[in-house]
Structure 1
Amino acid sequence: MAAAAQRKNNWFAIGISIAVVVVLVALGAIVVYLNNQANDAGPAPQGEIINSETGAISFGDGDDTVAVYVDFMCPICNDFEQQYGEALKQAAEDGKITLEYHPISILDRFSQGSEYSSRSAGAVFCVAEDSPSKTLEYMETLFTNQPAENTTGLTDEQLATYAEEVGADGAASCIADGTYGKWGVAQAKQHEIAGTPTVEVNGKRLDLQKGEIQEMLDVIS
């Protein structure tokens, strides 16, 4: 009897151990799944001016590449565009540089839960994919109508309306669906961007406070 009881206890202990292992494996799988979901950027935007791996939207074909990382909720990015945007676009048009814009999202926390930074970055990718020639104009429109920080920002309907106003009618459904809503966050992580605007020339990050962007423009002008 004692031996039988001991065997029963052993099998009970084994059963409990197996159940615990199964539960731990299941929990681990859930954690991995949730992490993958959080880091999943969704479908990659495609198009003649979009690099689907780096997230760059490119203009011009100059030998030197100037990459500008912007968040459309960022007022300093707006100031940067007002001060340097035209000169950079002209340099790209003249073939002096390849100008890359990277719409990213690091300021969702300043849009009262509406994730405006992510939605506006996604909207720019929608326009770049649908109507490449309208992309710069659309970006300018977003900066012209930039919402203040700590507001909900523009609605998806407004973002789509502005796309239609610049002639990118086909981007409206992409914007409404939030097709590229996760791309801005993913690109910020991929390129390790903690503040905007961030500017790189041929991969070298500039110190904007030291006027290095103006020095670069003076050299190419």
Structure 2
Amino acid sequence: MFAPRIFSAFRAAPRAPILRTALLAARPRTPLFPAIQSRPATHAAAGRANKAKDGPGKRLGAKKTAGEKVKTGMIIYRQRGTVWYPGENAGMGRDHTIFAAAPGYVRYYKDPAQPKRKFIGIALTEKQVLPSPPHAIRVRRLGMKAVPLEEEPRNVPFGTPLVRGDQVAKDGFYAYRTPNWRIGRMMPKVEVKNNNPFARWQKKGKRNAAWKRRKGIA
């Protein structure tokens, strides 16, 4: 009997306070943009103003002087930019460092064909001069040393008596060596001990058997 009156009371209540309460509940409690903003202090936060003014040097310059002997891979000159260019038997790294590409002697020189550039090269010999002439023979490092030829032995005249040292054996095509029987006699004589345990066991058994026969045991 009272149900229609209750429903009519709910229908007649305004909906504005309910919406306002829902909006207040959904609103964040902390503001997105606070009134006072703080920024922590950091080193070099505003560019390079706080960094070091004068850092350590990069150790640039010549590492090897003219005429100094170097090996492959040794650093000759450190630079920023191309103050010096790599010449003969030299190379340049990614940071413009000039290094030796072959063992030899350091040379600082200028090339008449390129008067605006200065070069650093490696002379393969101590007396080699750089730059090489345009049509000169290329100097190569073959890894060999020039040795004067020995005089060939003369033919022994007929009737010359042979000595004991002349008895050599021929090995291969051209090389002469001492024969094997002479090599074996060169070593000093050393007393050799028999370290065979089986042979020692056999000898011991024979000695025991002989002793038993002498004693009349066996």
TM-score normalized by the length of structure 1: 0.18
Higher strand content, 1 or 2: 2
**Largest Rg, 1 or 2:** 2
TM-score normalized by the length of structure 2: 0.18
Higher helix content, 1 or 2: 1
Q: Which has the higher contact order (CA 8 A, sep 6+)?
A: 1
